[in-house]
Amino acid sequence: MSERWARMLLSAYRLAGSAAFPLVGPYVVWRATKGKEDRNRRRERSGLAGRPRPEGPVIWAHAASVGETVAIIPLIDSILDYGVNVVLTTGTVTSAQVADDRLGDRVIHQFVPLDLKPAISRFLNHWQPDLAIMAESEIWPMTILELGLRRVPQVLVNGRLSDRSFSMWRRWPDLSEALFENMAHVVAQSEVDAERFQALGARPVTVSGNLKVDTNPPPVNEHELHALRRQIGLRPSWAAVSTHDGEETMAAEVHAMLRPHHLGLLSIIVPRHPDRALALAVEFAAMGLKVVLRSSGERVRSDTDILLGDTIGEMGLYLRLADIAFVGRSLTMEGGQNPLEPAMLETAVLSGPNVQNFRDAYERLVEAGAARIVEDRDGLAGEVNFLLGDGRARREMIAAGVATVEDMRGALDKTLRALEPYVRPLIVKSRLRHTGTH
């Protein structure tokens, strides 16, 4: 594809988005009926602001979902210390709740507008950001082009490209270059990610490490934690967290396989999408297992087989209840989920092999002996059985995980240094405004 055709394709994308814009309202309403949108704030998805623009410089920060939001919260905290305004957009209801819980009214939260020209133009016309900071793999053509036309610096932080995304963009080199040339800076998670962004035309590219390492462990309600620990007592337990379709069934089958060998075994299963919990509870009951849904408030009793974690924002609770955690989206799905939170919460990490989105973190953990990869259900059962029965091996994995996470820290400082040339002029501008100097 030539550069000319790449420009034509992007123009066609722009026109198609404008033509599709009248359908945005019904689409967002439909999503709201499924609980995927905030009914009272759905106009924000069309670019209509829910708040007035504050005076002074505005930095637009965007994180797609919960994981990305948690990762950039320390970065936003540091930027807020400089006295500039931050508009944080996220794409999910749960990430909006995380932003509210951890940042409150220190930022202005909005739901990200859809990547259609009318929505993006409305958003940018209102907020007039001086700098845009995007997290991880948020590459939206219309957003990138509109920011480029307005000469707003765009910095991608904690950047990563999955195998699939990189393969797709490589098939359209002129198209990728037409987009990535708009980036002022890409701060990549790893050397592999940096090489991929450079191959697609991004300049400059630096490596920071993973911002997720520099976050605090997931919080917990200490009262709830103590109450559940009293209910569980000294029973052996393990957890399967951030699981996807098929992995919960595997975890329940592992429980049934190991229960005769570990008296009083409790399995804690936390599906990535809690709305699937009721169907899972029915499935587990049909397997002869006794299930307690966390949301029900029912006590965990001595004969409870499975505690089904169907609540949002309690990962810190579930991980503190077990010394062993299988991290999902790695056996029946691809990509994996973040293993750093279990490691920093003193948990031995198990995972399937499909962890492309967290390759660097898993490589470091596996090399240090803090994580183990399993190929299937029987492999998972074998590792859980071994770790439940060998306290020394379990403690060694846990200690290795804590040490590895500590060694990996530093991404926040490197990212702040990369952002300094773009943020510092805004700090000066903000201070001049407050002192009345012109």
Residues with a catalytic annotation lie at: 68
CA-based R_g, the chain, Å: 23
How many CB atoms are closer than 10 A to CB 9?
Answer: 16
C-alpha of 42 from chain center = 22
Give me the amino acid identity at 406: E
CA distance linking residue 163 with residue 158, whole number of Å: 16
Cβ pair 207, 190 in contact under 8 A: yes
Helix 117-127 vs helix 141-149: crossing angle, to nearest 10: 40
Phi-psi region of 300 (alpha: psi -120 to 50; beta: other; left: phi over 0): beta
Beta-bridge partners for 59 = 86, 131
Angle between helices 141-149 and 3-20 (to 10 degrees): 100
Give φ, ψ of 132 to 5 degrees.
-120, 125
Comparing CA positions, the residue from 242, 256, 393, 392 lying closest to residue 326 is 242
Of 287, 268, 289, 254, give the one whose Cα is nearest residue 381: 254
DSSP state string for 378-420: HHHHHHHHHHHH-HHHHHHHHHHHHHHHHHH--HHHHHHHHHH
Cis bond before residue 22 (omega within 30° of 0): no
The answer to whether 267 touches 255, Cβ cutoff 8 Å, is yes
In angstroms, the CA 340 to CA 364 distance is: 10
In whole angstroms, give the CA distance from residue 62 to residue 43.
Answer: 18
Task: Kindly state the helix (H) or strand (E) to which residue 341 belongs, with its residue range.
Answer: helix 340-344
Q: In 316-327, which positions are buried (b, 16+ CB within 10 angstroms) versus exposed (e)?
A: bbbbbbbbbbbb
Dump strand ranges (E) for 118-247: 131-135, 154-159, 185-188, 205-207, 237-243
